[in-house]
Structure 1
Amino acid sequence: RMGQYGLERWPELLASLASAVFFQREGTLVLWHRQDAPEAVRFAGVLARTVNEVPGLPAMQRLDAAGVDAIEPGIGKRFAQGLLLPGEGQLDNRQLLAALLASLQALPNVTMHWHSARAPDEFEPGASERIIDCRGLGARPQWAALRGVRGEVIRVHAPEVNLRRPTRLVHPRYPLYIAPKPDGVFVIGATEIESDDMSPASVRSTLELLSAAYSVHSGFAEARILEIATQCRPSLPDNLPAIRWLKPRVMQVNGLYRHGFLIAPAMLDTAIERLATRTPTLASRFALESE
């Protein structure tokens, strides 16, 4: 529900920013190789139960080889089956951050301080002031339940690849995703490791990501690697985001795990509501409350 709500809110939020941000809702294509069909059956069962539990969520569409080829001709005849998850979408997170920065810089009463780390307990806000702590794993001294979940992504320039929508590859060990960005750029990611390790990506995980991407579209063979990045996602024990009051005028927003940008509008609206009223109405609706 949080993701669905977020996707519905994104166009309105993006329209208010100082510069354009790539956003599309062409759905997500889910594929699998023949040897991974049992895992695909399990995954389809999870999706079916989710649709039953979340009213209004579009049902998945089963595709045969012709159906896959019709919506993503670049893949050809590599996959005999697939699933289309209609209504899903994506945005360019880097364009979004740049647009948010430009919009903040244009406001008359906003001052930004870079490279000046602070903790909420270093301040005592006045009666009309509020502190919103969004430090991710940096908030662990005040929120002991936070943990890091390592992720690795590869950004490539692949002008020979013409995937139009995010594509996921079902695999027994890692759920690969390929997300198209503007100008022939693709983000390839999969790994989800229970670790706070911030070291560079391993040879093994890099080979697995690139090999899996090539198995989806042969055009990735001539792609140019632009970046290999690693980072740890701030996560709570249930892998759900949470908003809580650290003290009367200090709010903490954290635990976005892998949900990130998709559910950001739901988190935004919840935080604004709680700042205004200190009531958890929307938080309860999205199961965000975690005091």
Structure 2
Amino acid sequence: MIPDKMRFKPLSLPDAHVTILGAGLMGRLLAFTLASEGCRVDIHDAGGPDADGAAARVAAAMLAPLAESAVSEPAVVAMGVHGLRRWPQILSALSSPVFFQQNGTLVVWHWQDATEAARLRTTLEHTATVLKDLTPLAVLDAAALAQREPALAERFHEAYFLRGEGQLDNRQLLAALLTDMQRLGVHTHWHSPQSPADFSPATAGQPDCVLDCRGLGARADWPALRGVRGEVIRLHAPEVSLRRPVRLVHPRYPLYIAPKQDHRFVIGATEIESDDLSPASVRSTLELLSAAYTVHPGFAEARIIEIATQCRPALPDNNPGLRLLGERTLQINGLYRHGFMIAPAMLDATLALLREGSGALAGPFQPRIETAL
């Protein structure tokens, strides 16, 4: 239970003045949505408009709740299912196009990892029985795989197909949200690091509400946050054509390959318990590129566009959370490796709190809400 003195006091929308800290994925989604409803919105970020310091910029932006159920709790998977329904609605409201596809996910493996693949199948099938909104996986033989993904014909003898899963272009989305924030009159304050302590909501000359979406930038105010390092490689591979994201089962580095537009690919796998932001290691780079080559030899002639590292904000249980610092100050954080998949659910939960106070949260996923007391 949330103590009465720490319950979130609902806002009068759309007349409210909201200040948002952090212009990453959650900050931009909230700024765009609230400004669309007529709110006055200010947003502060320690970096610039390109979101160079945001975890959302270094991501594959896959929307894969069944695939992620192998490492996530049912509540997170349910948020991902909600996100698959909500992303088309969010994207359709933007004035700029954002690449989005919902062609499913393919899971493949080499013969020596068949045991690991069988174990994964058991996990995914169990999840699909627990969460009825998930579509069970389909097992493809070599012929069915070749028909579904011709580029992988004769490379694998079996695969799993996870229907309905999707992806989007994270950088296009961040840019499109920025464009519409400016169009809607959001007051953007770049290179302006702020904390909740810098504001006194609902007092004279102050915003009605403060929403803290700073990711790891909020660690001083939410000590439980930690950084989880991720490394991704962006390639241009004209000789490779994939219709959907592909995941490679491997006991040490389960690889993902997310095809974007114009034969560009985002490749990743590494997840390191560290907040180190130094460049990618030789080992990680070799493992990612070698694994990608085993999926499709056309990657041998690909050009490396970028090798990037970033730290995702995570809470101790790797689940996202909402946290009250006061009756008009709310923190949204801990999206971990699931940022794009669960962001719409966290957006809707936050909007429910803004409109109705602590008595209601959106959706069946019920994200955790706690206080700073």
* Aligned residue in 1 for 2:341: 262
Rounded to whole Å, the distance in 2 between the matches of 1:218 and 1:284 is 43
Give the whole-Å Cα distance in 1 for the aligned partners of 2:366 and 2:233.
32
1:112: which partner in 2? 188
- Whether 1:165 and 2:244 are equivalent positions in the alignment is yes
Note the C-alpha offset of 1:265.
0.9
Given the alignment of the two structures, is residue 65 of structure 1 paired with residue 65 of structure 2, yes or no? no
- 2:219 corresponds to which residue? 140
- Alignment of structure 1 residues 64-103 onto 2, 5 Å: 64-103=141-180
Q: TM-score, normalized by length of structure 2?
A: 0.76
Q: CA deviation at 1:282?
A: 3.1
In 1, the alpha carbon distance for the partners of 2:363 and 2:223 equals: 23
Alignment of 1:1-291 (within 5 A): 1-108=78-185, 110-126=186-202, 129-279=208-358, 281-282=360-361, 285-291=364-370
User: Does structure 2 conserve the Cα–Cα contact (< 8 Å) formed by 1:131 and 1:251?
Assistant: yes
Query: What is the CA–CA distance in structure 1 between the aligned matches of 2:133 and 2:216, rounded to whole Å?
Result: 34
Contact 2:348/2:362 (<8 A) preserved? no
What SS does the aligned partner of 1:183 have?
Answer: helix
> Is the Cα contact below 8 Å between 2:345 and 2:363 reproduced in 1?
no
Comparing 242-251 with 87-96, greater Cα deviation is found at 242-251
- Taking the aligned partners of 2:316 and 2:92, their CA distance within structure 1 comes to 35
Asked if the contact 1:240–1:255 (Cα under 8 Å) also holds between the matched residues in 2, the reply is yes
Which amino acid in 2 is paired with 1:47? L
Aligned equivalents of 2:327, 2:85: Cα separation in 1? 32
CA contact (8 A) 2:244 2:258 kept: yes
Question: 121-130 or 148-157: which moved more?
Answer: 121-130
Higher relative contact order (CA 8 A, sep 6+): 2
> What is the SS of the residue equivalent to 2:189?
coil
Aligned residues: 290
Provide the secondary structure at the position in 2 that maps to 1:285: coil
Q: Distance in 2 between matches of 1:243 and 1:20?
A: 30
State the shift of 1:277 in Å.
Answer: 1.1
- Does the CA-based 8 Å contact 2:99-2:261 persist in structure 1? yes
CA distance in 1, matches of 2:249, 2:275: 25
**Which runs of no fewer than 5 residues in structure 2 stay unpaired?**
1-77
* Contact preservation (8 Å) 1:280, 1:289: no
- Check the 8 A contact 1:65/1:81 in 2, yes or no: yes
RMSD over aligned CA atoms reads 1.2
Cα distance, 1:287 vs structure 2: 3.5
